[in-house]
Structure 1
Amino acid sequence: MRRIVGAVFQSLDGVMQAPGGTTEDPTGGFDQGGWQFKFPDPAADETMGPLLDGEYDLLLGRRTYDIFAAFWPYVEGDEAPVGRAFDRAGKYVLTHGDQPLEWENSHRLTSIDDVAALKASDGPELRIWGSSTIYPGLLKAGLLDRLVLMTYPLTLGKGKRLFGDGTPPGALKMVDHTVTPAGTVVATYEPAGPIPATAPHQPSPATSDREAERQRKMQDGNW
């Protein structure tokens, strides 16, 4: 069985859209593309080393796949080794569309059930970059093994978020963390099951007539 590990660059308000460049992903009118490089953090960059080393395959959403396929096979200079590693890796793309996947070693997945079957197969670790839309389904199906969040000290206000629509309630356990001198929080989490059950909620006794009225309005849906 394979492990599935996600790595995410995000802002303090949870936006993960287009950290790498102004033209990376402007969908939804996002105009802060390339924000990560406006806040350079060498210590945070060093934490990425283990996520780019060794043998692995990639699990990607369609937009991230398109971004990577147009960049990494052609990159030169210091980033060329990453490009070669991504070329070698299997690229598993979770998509409802039927557009061709022309990057070498690319494979189409059409459902979370396909991801579950892939996870159950033999092979190297599956690593996710970007791909915000696939996280809710992975969490709901219990398929995500580890999540590395690199949270930069800025807010972006709008944009795609890691925990978007469809994210289920659940607990996460922090297994590692560091704070860089520049203020980036690098935290590693593993799913820790459902949120613990509690006794049925009982309204607190009203401490004043005003509080009693407020509680009445809440019960009536008028607060």
Structure 2
Amino acid sequence: MRKLIVGAFTSLDGVMQAPGGPEEDPIGGFSFGGWAAPYFDETMGAEVGELFSAPFDLLLGRKTYDIFAAHWPYAKPDDPIGPLFDRINKYVATRNRGFETNWQNSHILGADAVEAVRQLKREDGPNLLTQGSTDFLKTLFAHGLVDEINVYVFPILLGRGKRLFGDASQPTALKLVSSKTTASGITANRYVPSGAVTTGSFEFEQPTEAELARRKNLT
């Protein structure tokens, strides 16, 4: 059985869009492409290196796949990421039936991407690691397919843009496995699902008249 591991760079308000450069993903008029670069330091590089240190296959949405396929195969041979991404398997989720891959070791998941991912998880092999892929991630979260979340939160508010989580996420309690903070203020947090959401209350055991009136006026 393989695990499905999410790796995500986000702003403090949860935006994932175009961390790497101005032309990465300007869709929707997003004008802050490259927001992650000024904060990247040696500690953050080590964190990313650790994420990539265990064997993995990439699991990508089509738009992120296109970004990666236009960049990583052309990286220098001594680049720590390019040759790695080049040789591993890359599984792509796309709604475009005419889509063709042009990057070695790439595989299209097919019409039912959710079932294809379930089948991949049942097989032997390295873990499945996502990068970017905001739309596809929402589907993976909604179907409870994620086993681990690595989120790197940058100390910046972007206000608008594609976000890590959406209303389709499956309610799940999470356990914080590890947390580090870099000198530039990035927090690197690793979570695993820990069961159903539980609730409690800080309310008075006997609600006040004012509280009862407030509840009555809720819309």
> TM-score, length-normalised on structure 2?
0.90
CA apart distance, 1:101:
1.4
CA distance in structure 2 between the partners assigned to 1:212 and 1:88 by the alignment: 63
The answer to whether the 8 A contact 2:144-2:170 is kept is no
Consecutive unaligned residues of structure 2, counting only runs of 5 or more, are none
**Structure 1 position 93 matched with structure 2 position 95:** no
CA apart distance, 1:197:
6.0
The answer to whether the 8 A contact 1:153-1:184 is kept is yes
Match of 2:21 in 1: 21
Q: Deviations over 1:33-53 (max 9, x none)?
A: 000112232211211112222
Match of 1:6, SS? strand
Match of 1:214 in 2: 214
The alpha-carbon distance between structure 1 residues 4 and 203, as it changes in their structure 2 partners (threshold 3 A), is same
Equivalent positions of 1:46-65 (< 5 A) are 46-65=46-65
The alpha-carbon distance between structure 1 residues 204 and 112, as it changes in their structure 2 partners (threshold 3 A), is farther
Aligned CA RMSD, in angstroms, stands at 2.2
CA distance in structure 1 between the partners assigned to 2:51 and 2:67 by the alignment: 19
- Aligned residues: percent identity? 43
Match of 1:2, SS? coil
CA distance in structure 1 between the partners assigned to 2:28 and 2:205 by the alignment: 41
Q: Deviations over 1:167-189 (max 9, x none)?
A: 12111110011112221111000
The answer to whether the 8 A contact 2:141-2:168 is kept is no
Equivalent positions of 1:156-195 (< 5 A) are 156-195=158-197
CA apart distance, 1:87:
1.2
CA distance in structure 2 between the partners assigned to 1:169 and 1:3 by the alignment: 19
Q: Aligned pairs, how many?
A: 215
CA distance in structure 1 between the partners assigned to 2:77 and 2:40 by the alignment: 19
> TM-score, length-normalised on structure 1?
0.88
CA distance in structure 2 between the partners assigned to 1:36 and 1:62 by the alignment: 22
**Structure 1 position 107 matched with structure 2 position 107:** yes
The alpha-carbon distance between structure 1 residues 54 and 196, as it changes in their structure 2 partners (threshold 3 A), is closer
The alpha-carbon distance between structure 1 residues 212 and 191, as it changes in their structure 2 partners (threshold 3 A), is closer
Match of 2:137 in 1: 135
Letter in structure 1 aligned against 2:6: G
CA distance in structure 1 between the partners assigned to 2:70 and 2:151 by the alignment: 25
CA distance in structure 2 between the partners assigned to 1:140 and 1:40 by the alignment: 31
**Structure 1 position 73 matched with structure 2 position 73:** yes
CA distance in structure 2 between the partners assigned to 1:28 and 1:94 by the alignment: 21
Consecutive unaligned residues of structure 1, counting only runs of 5 or more, are none
